[in-house]
Amino acid sequence: MRIVLLGAPGAGKGTQAKKLVEKYGIPQVSTGDLLRAAVAAGTTLGKEAKAVMDKGELVPDSIVLGMMEERMKQDDMKKGYILDGFPRNTKQAEALDAMLAKLNMPLTAALSVDVPFEDLMKRLTGRRTCKSCGQMYNVYFSPSKAEGTCDKCGAALFQRDDDKEETIKKRLEVYSASTAPLIDYYKGKGILKSVSGTGGIDSIFGEVCAQLGLK
């Protein structure tokens, strides 16, 4: 499995990627998670990225591509990979194709998770994430049993800095302008699949596996 997950902010890319990791043991590479780790570590790159992320804009291609080139060379990628939130525009998609051709591990599919825009605001403002294990919750749709605490590991939950209404609006605009065109990009390459991202998380996962030809 060597896939890209496409979808608007809040569509459920991270949620479905984590289920694929759990079931098939293939690594998830989320550029958003890598950038948030750099922000938390307070590196120069992290400081530069935070200012852009808090505005809901895309971090410069040079930063993201450098980060991905390092990540894709690591040994665990040989098992396959799930790219979540990358590529984000045509330039990144073309750079990814070149990178993967060199490493001789081309994409097998690009899977688009489709959710109507009007559902996304509540998903994003309601999202809470575990500081320790990364498990995701939603105060409206799938709350943790005890407020603010992870059911799986007991650590505290946090709300992402970019999950504020104004920033979300900007992220959705950026998605429409820069990322949505990748649906046609991968259609043109004959590897596009899509699923509806509305409904229960487990039933969507069943459809994800079916679309990817997984048992």
Interacting span for ligand AP5 (CB under 6 A) from 49-57, 74-82, 145-153, 182-190: 49-57
**Is there a contact between 114 and 211 (Cβ–Cβ < 8 Å)?**
no
- In the list ligand AP5, Mg ion, none, the entry touching 1 (Cβ below 5 to 8 angstroms by class) is none
Q: Which is nearer to ligand AP5, 130 or 204 (CB)?
A: 204
Q: Please report whether residue 81 would count as binding ligand AP5 according to CB under 6 A.
A: no
Residues 14-33 that bind Mg ion (CB under 5 A): 14
| Angstrom distance (rounded) from CA 71 to CA 125 | 30
The verdict on whether 171 is a catalytic residue reads yes
Of 30, 71, 32, give the one whose Cα is nearest residue 50. 32
Interacting span for ligand AP5 (CB under 6 A) from 31-39, 98-106, 148-156, 184-192: 31-39
| Angstrom distance (rounded) from CA 140 to CA 121 | 11
The verdict on whether 2 is a catalytic residue reads no
For residue 165, count CB atoms less than 10 angstroms from its CB and return exposed for 0-12, middle for 13-18, buried for 19 or more: exposed
H helical segments located in 104-197: 120-125, 165-174, 181-188
Among 3, 4, 11, 39, binds ligand AP5 (CB under 6 A): 11
Instruction: For residue 181, give both structure tokens.
Output: 């065109």
Beta strands in 48-98 (DSSP E): 81-84
Q: What distance lies between CA 119 and its chain's CA centroid?
A: 17
Sequence-separated (6 or more) residues with CB below 8 Å from residue 151: 135, 137, 144, 145
Interacting span for Mg ion (CB under 5 A) from 6-14, 108-116, 165-173, 196-204: 6-14
**Residue 33 Cβ vs ligand AP5, minimum distance, rounded to whole Å:** 7
**Residue 6 Cβ vs Mg ion, minimum distance, rounded to whole Å:** 12
Residues 144-173 that bind ligand AP5 (CB under 6 A): 162, 171
Q: Please count the other Cβ atoms lying within 10 Å of the Cβ belonging to residue 203.
A: 11
State which amino acid sits at residue 11.
A
- In the list ligand AP5, Mg ion, none, the entry touching 136 (Cβ below 5 to 8 angstroms by class) is ligand AP5
Instruction: For residue 186, give both structure tokens.
Output: 């991968």
State which amino acid sits at residue 79.
K
| Site residues, ligand AP5 (CB under 6 A) | 7, 9-15, 31-32, 35, 52-53, 56-59, 64, 85-86, 88, 92, 123-124, 126-127, 136-138, 141-142, 162, 171, 197, 201, 204
> Which residues belong to the active site?
13, 88, 127, 160, 171
| Site residues, Mg ion (CB under 5 A) | 14
